[in-house]
Amino acid sequence: MGITLRETVKDGDLICSPHTPNCSTCTSRHLSVCAALGTEELVTFDHVVQHRGAPAKTLLFEQGQKADFVFSVSEGTIRLFRLLPDGRRQITGFAIKGDFLGVALDETYDVCAEAVDAVRFCRIPRSSFVTMVDEKPHLLRKLHQIAGRELHFSQDQMVLLGRRNAEERVAAFLLSHRARLSRVMTCSVTIPLPMSRSDIADYLGLTIETVSRTISKLAREKLVVVVPDGIRLLDVARITELAGG
Amino acid sequence: MGITLRETVKDGDLICSPHTPNCSTCTSRHLSVCAALGTEELVTFDHVVQHRGAPAKTLLFEQGQKADFVFSVSEGTIRLFRLLPDGRRQITGFAIKGDFLGVALDETYDVCAEAVDAVRFCRIPRSSFVTMVDEKPHLLRKLHQIAGRELHFSQDQMVLLGRRNAEERVAAFLLSHRARLSRVMTCSVTIPLPMSRSDIADYLGLTIETVSRTISKLAREKLVVVVPDGIRLLDVARITELAGG
DNA sequence: AATCGGCCTTGACGCAAATCAAGTCCCGCC
DNA sequence: GGCGGGACTTGATTTGCGTCAAGGCCGATT
């Protein structure tokens, strides 16, 4: 939470997959932008894409930095956040498998991105990607569709941050995170939460203590059970009510 | 602020401009999506665009409703908001001259839109617009660029709602609103605010009273002067400091 | 096994903003 | 001109969440 960040990861710090996988066998193949790629485009993609991995806490890029790459997450969780000069942090989202970073194609990153746990991703030089997008309108269409979804999500988050109380925020977080996870994994009622309480707090506009107390309260009311690195939902219906709308 | 809304405006309720203006003479011609239109495209546009006006408080469309039109605002202010079942409201933005509503091209509107004061706008059937966008990649590119800006803005707003105190919120609102206005009008230090305190409160995640008190405090400290339907900034530098980063 | 350091939880207390409650101003309307 | 109502301000009080502080748990390190 300090106001200084470690320096952004250098290329050498990233783990290259020993036998570079290719896009056609990628398990994120049908997710996100990649879903919009035809088989022949996939070949083009394979030429420019770099498959990489990074351990927990790696800073992948920083707000304001020149956006040399766009990313597609294939494993693990990445926190996206903004920092205020005095160290306050607002996490704007958690990126998971299938999520695309850099939808806007901006010259600079508008948030910081940091690995929550060990992550794998592929990255594409932004310039190459922009070229492809400019040549393939259907790729741009897909990208725009993703941007639209993110815009919609941001509005949900504004309602949450502006008008919901602590309990509603936590309940809504559990449900929305579960919904997102369900796109990419069979996740019944036990939600894996690799991120810390501090991350959840900074995502929900609360403090660690309030998040902890709220979860304890839900547990006391037998709506959830706290498990190592996750939370099991016991009463989805009631939690949905609490999340409210 | 009630939980029920008046029914959405019907076509008959909207004021048709007596002598329909055309896009080439429109004062929003160089703003927003329209800026991306070539002269010959403008002609196509003129055939499908409908110029309309509406008095204050007109509900233009509602969240969840089928999105029959996309809009470009040419005069006045529109509040965009979400409602919770119990009546709590979060205003996600104020649209002014040059702003485009419906960037995502979604099938349904994801927010409600209501005229704050008397407004003028042009609207285009979404289907026609989508057709144009599909034919003209550079239009889609422009649209995507706008979506990117909105995404960036949403992140600012998440930081504001999640991590800033009342004073910072109000100061940031005054400055960002001024910046937006400056794109379309010569607006020195007196910021016209057609929206009510209640609107500002619901935009900033505060109550009317807190907004009022905070503005009074800024006035007491001689940083602003409250004028009819607006606020004059006396010390932009100090206000920028308060807004903090 | 003992020590350390994160991370999390829990309790006591404080405070910023919400709520409750007048009151003022101003504009439209009779 | 007087009346009514909405928007705004201001004060008193409450409260939900933040802050401060202590302690527990657990994995890493020696």
The 3-class secondary structure across A93-161, one letter per residue, is EEECCCCEECCCCCCECCCEEEECCCEEEEEEEHHHHHHHHHHCHHHHHHHHHHHHHHHHHHHHHHHHH
* Chain A residues within 8 A of B82 when measuring between CB atoms: 155, 158-159
Of A141, A148, A163, the CB nearest to B106: A148
* Cα gap B13→B58, rounded to integer Å: 9
Query: What are the tokens at B108?
Result: 């349904």
CA distance A154 to A166: 18
CA distance B21 to B24: 9
Q: Residues B197-243: pLDDT tens digits? A: 999 999 999 999 999 999 999 999 999 999 999 999 999 999 999 99
Pick the CATH number of B164-243 from 2.30.40.10, 3.40.50.1000, 1.10.10.10, 1.20.210.10: 1.10.10.10
* Average pLDDT, integer, range B64-93: 97
From chain B, the residues in CB contact with A204 under 8 A are 162
pTM above 0.85, yes or no: yes
Domain with CATH 1.10.10.10 in chain A: 165-243
- What pLDDT score was predicted for residue A2? 36
* Residue contact A84–B163, C-beta within 8 A: yes
> pLDDT per position in chain A (245 positions), as tens?
333 445 677 776 788 866 667 888 889 989 988 899 888 888 888 899 999 999 999 999 999 999 999 999 999 999 999 999 999 999 999 999 999 999 999 999 999 999 999 999 999 999 999 999 999 999 999 999 999 999 999 999 999 999 999 999 999 999 999 999 999 888 779 999 999 999 999 999 999 999 999 999 999 999 999 999 999 999 999 999 999 87
Task: Look at residue B3 and tell me whether its pLDDT is greater than 70.
Answer: no
Q: Which residues of B touch A244 (CB under 8 A)?
A: 84-86
Kindly report the nearest CA distance between residue B19 and chain A, in angstroms.
35
Question: What residue has token string 């009342």?
Answer: B166
- For residue A152, the chain B residue with the least C-alpha distance is B110
pLDDT at site B12: 62
Residue nearest to nucleotide C7 (CA to C1'): A196
Say yes or no: Cβ of A207 under 7 A from any atom of strand C: no
Tokens matching residue B205: 């995640």
CB pair distance less than 8 Å for B104 and A157: no
Buried/exposed A147-168: b ≥16 CB within 10 Å, e otherwise: bbebbebbbebbbbbbbbebbb
Q: Residue B15: what pLDDT?
A: 84
The count of CB pairs under 8 A between chains A and B is 124
Question: Which whole-number Å values give the CA distances from A244 to A93, A163, A239, B231, in the listed order?
Answer: 21, 11, 8, 36
Contact yes or no for A136/A101 (Cβ under 8 A): no
Which DSSP symbol is given to B71?
E
3-state secondary structure of B108: strand
What distance separates the 2 farthest-apart alpha carbons in chain B? Answer: 56
pLDDT of residue A6: 52
Strand order in the sheet with B224-227: B190-192, B230-233, B224-227
| A165-243: CATH topology | Arc Repressor Mutant, subunit A (1.10.10)
Evaluate if residue B13 carries a pLDDT over 80: no
Q: Do B148 and A151 touch (CB under 8 A)?
A: no
Residues in B touching A202 (Cβ below 8 Å): 162
Task: Write out the two tokens for A124.
Answer: 């594409």
Q: Do B114 and B59 touch, CB atoms closer than 8 A?
A: yes
Percent of chain B whose pLDDT exceeds 70: 95
What average pLDDT is seen over chain B?
A: 93
Is there a contact between B244 and A84 if contact means CB atoms under 8 Å apart? yes
Query: In angstroms, rounded to a whole number, what is the distance separating the alpha carbons of residues A108 and A106?
Result: 5
Q: Which CATH fold topology does B11-157 show?
A: Jelly Rolls (2.60.120)
**Do B200 and B132 touch, CB atoms closer than 8 A?**
no
* 3-state secondary structure (DSSP) of residue A15: strand
Q: Which of B148, B149, B159 sits opposite A90 (nearest CB)?
A: B159
Give how far A132 is from chain B: nearest CA, Å: 13
Band of residue B7 on the pLDDT scale cut at 50, 70, 90? low
Report the distance from CA of residue B237 to the C1' of nucleotide C30 in Å, as an integer: 49
Whether residue B163 and residue A92 make contact (CB cut-off 8 A), yes or no, is: no
Q: Which two tokens stand for residue A160?
A: 């949450």
CATH 2.60.120.10 intervals, chain A: 11-157
| Chain A residues closer than 8 Å to B161 by CB | 158, 161-162, 205
The per-residue pLDDT for A12 is: 62
Task: Determine the pLDDT at residue B1.
Answer: 38
Question: CB of residue A225 closer than 7 A to nucleic acid strand C?
Answer: no
How far CA B31 is from CA of B77, B95, B120, B232, in Å, comes to 16, 13, 15, 26
Rounded Cα distance between B103 and B70, Å, is 8
**Residue B93 is inside which H or E element, if any?**
strand B89-95
Chain segment B21-44, per-residue pLDDT in tens: 788 888 998 998 889 988 888 888
Give the model confidence (pLDDT) of B15-27 as tens digits: 886 666 788 888 9
Burial of B207 (0-12, 13-18, 19+ CB in 10 A): middle
* Beta carbons of B126 and B72 less than 8 angstroms apart: no
CB contact under 8 A, B105 and A147: no
B145: nearest CA partner in chain A: A104
Residues facing residue B80 across a β-bridge: B93, B113
Give dist(CA B164, CA A83) in Å, integer. Answer: 12
Count how many Cα atoms sit within 13 Å of the Cα of residue A223 in the half-sphere of its side chain: 19
Q: Is any atom of nucleic acid chain C found less than 7 Å from the CB of residue A147?
A: no
- Give residue A135's pLDDT: 94
